[in-house]
């Protein structure tokens, strides 16, 4: 049961390891732990290069936070607290709409990124400079889209009333504890999403350098690709490490697609829960 002994606080500085965590509701404790883990991941991602597994774990951590948030909103006591704080609920609805829109766009960007990586690999193998040039153009366009998404998350984190609510919720008010941690979940999701989007750009940043399109086959040499023997009927190229890296990139993007789809569904579910709480039948 959620009662007056809640021990969750809005920011890391306000939390204390000495607090009696056993008096917290298990869902609140799980959500608080998920927020801590996601915040730590975001800080590490911002300060260093995160590999493919790191990027995918970031998406998984976002899903964990949203899953715990969904469980919290199903609790009658938590739902009542959110309903009583109508203004905070409206702000949360706006914040999660921004996040849901971002992940809808992110899914489309990942699909485009995976397709361009596949076309790059196919064009390189066949020695098709026109195909490579078109794929590179699409690749760069998607990278710009991902950077815009990251910038949108940064703006949301700085200016969204959801983030403001997370920083200003009352420390002793039970309703404030609940609505505040909802706002904090949205804020930490936005921060992690910015890092995730930028990591997706970084993981394919060397693709244009690997594939050079000039009016000759010199770009093939930069890829480490050599033409097949003249007696071979197929125009395809021999395998090369660069082609293998492009294939690995496709696989990593595919994993990101799967994770982002789960996050997108969680975000939609969160908005539905908040709408039902805000406007009960």
Summarised one tens digit per residue, pLDDT across range 225-269 is 454 444 443 444 434 666 777 888 888 888 899 999 999 999 999
pLDDT at 158: 79
- Position 124 confidence tier, pLDDT thresholds 50, 70, 90: confident
- Region 142-151: mean pLDDT is 94
Most confident range, picked from 97-106, 116-125, 168-177, 252-261: 97-106
Does residue 169 lie in a domain region? yes
pTM: 0.77
Does residue 82 lie in a domain region? yes
Q: Which pair of tokens denotes residue 107?
A: 């899914």
User: Bigger pLDDT: 147 or 20?
Assistant: 147
Three-state SS letters, the chain: CCCCCCCCCCCHHHCCCCCCHHHCCHHHHHHHHHHHHHHHHHHHHHHCCCCHHHHHHHHHHHHHHHHHHHHHHHCHHHHHHHHHCHHHHHHHHHHHHHHHHHHHHHHHHHHHHHHHHHHHHHHHHHCCHHHHHHHHHHHHHHHHHHHHHHHHHHHHHHHCHHHHHHHHCCCCCHHHHHHHHHHHHHHHHHHHHHHHHHHHHHHCCCHHHHCCCCCCCHHHHHHCCCECCCCCCCCCECCCHHHHHHHHHHHHHHHHHHHHHHHHHHHHHHHHHHHHHHCCC
pLDDT at 257: 92
User: Bigger pLDDT: 4 or 124?
Assistant: 124
* Model pLDDT for residues 87-108, shown as the tens digit of each residue: 999 999 999 999 999 999 999 9
Among 6-20, 65-79, 93-107, 234-248, whose mean pLDDT is lowest? 6-20
Does residue 3 lie in a domain region? no
- Region 104-124: mean pLDDT is 90
Does residue 16 lie in a domain region? no
- Position 175 confidence tier, pLDDT thresholds 50, 70, 90: low
Number of folded domains that form the chain: 1
Does residue 70 lie in a domain region? yes
Does residue 277 lie in a domain region? no
* Model pLDDT for residues 203-226, shown as the tens digit of each residue: 777 676 666 533 345 544 544 445
- Region 75-79: mean pLDDT is 92
For residue 71, the cross-strand partners are none
- Domain containing 209: what range? 26-36+52-227+236-270
Work out the percent of the chain whose per-residue pLDDT is above 90. Answer: 42
- Position 189 confidence tier, pLDDT thresholds 50, 70, 90: very high
Does pLDDT of 164 surpass 80? no
- Position 18 confidence tier, pLDDT thresholds 50, 70, 90: very low
User: Bigger pLDDT: 81 or 127?
Assistant: 81
Does residue 72 lie in a domain region? yes
pLDDT at 159: 65
- Position 17 confidence tier, pLDDT thresholds 50, 70, 90: very low
Cα–Cα distance, 221 to 212 (Å, whole number): 9
Does pLDDT of 4 surpass 80? no
Does residue 2 lie in a domain region? no
pLDDT at 206: 66
In this structure, are residues 230 and 93 in contact, taking their beta carbons and an 8 Å threshold? no
| CA angle in degrees (0–180, nearest 5) for 276-69-92 | 55
């Amino acid at each position: 049961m959620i009662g007056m002994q809640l021990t969750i606080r809005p920011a890391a500085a306000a939390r204390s390891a000495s607090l009696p965590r056993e008096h917290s509701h298990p869902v609140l404790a799980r959500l608080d732990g998920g927020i801590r883990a996601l915040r730590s991941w975001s800080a590490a991602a911002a300060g260093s290069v995160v590999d493919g597994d790191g990027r995918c774990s970031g998406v998984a951590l976002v899903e964990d936070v949203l899953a715990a948030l969904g469980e919290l909103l199903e609790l009658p006591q938590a739902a009542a607290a959110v309903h009583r704080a109508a203004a905070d609920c409206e702000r949360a609805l706006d914040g999660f709409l921004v996040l849901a829109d971002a992940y809808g766009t992110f899914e489309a960007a990942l699909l485009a990124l995976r397709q361009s990586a596949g076309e790059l690999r196919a064009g390189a193998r066949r020695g098709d400079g026109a195909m490579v040039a078109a794929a590179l153009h699409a690749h760069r366009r998607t990278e710009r889209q991902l950077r815009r998404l990251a910038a949108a998350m940064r703006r949301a984190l700085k200016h969204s009333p959801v983030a403001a609510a997370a920083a200003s919720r009352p420390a002793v008010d039970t309703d404030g504890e609940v609505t505040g941690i909802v706002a904090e979940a949205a804020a930490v999701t936005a921060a992690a999403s910015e890092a995730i989007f930028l990591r997706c750009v970084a993981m394919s940043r060397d693709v244009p350098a690997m594939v050079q399109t000039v009016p000759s086959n010199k770009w093939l040499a930069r890829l480490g690709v050599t033409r097949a023997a003249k007696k071979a009927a197929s125009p395809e190229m021999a395998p090369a490490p660069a082609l293998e890296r492009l294939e690995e990139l496709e696989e990593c993007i595919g994993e990101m697609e799967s994770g982002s789809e789960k996050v997108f569904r969680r975000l939609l579910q969160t908005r539905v829960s908040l709408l039902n709480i805000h406007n009960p039948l």
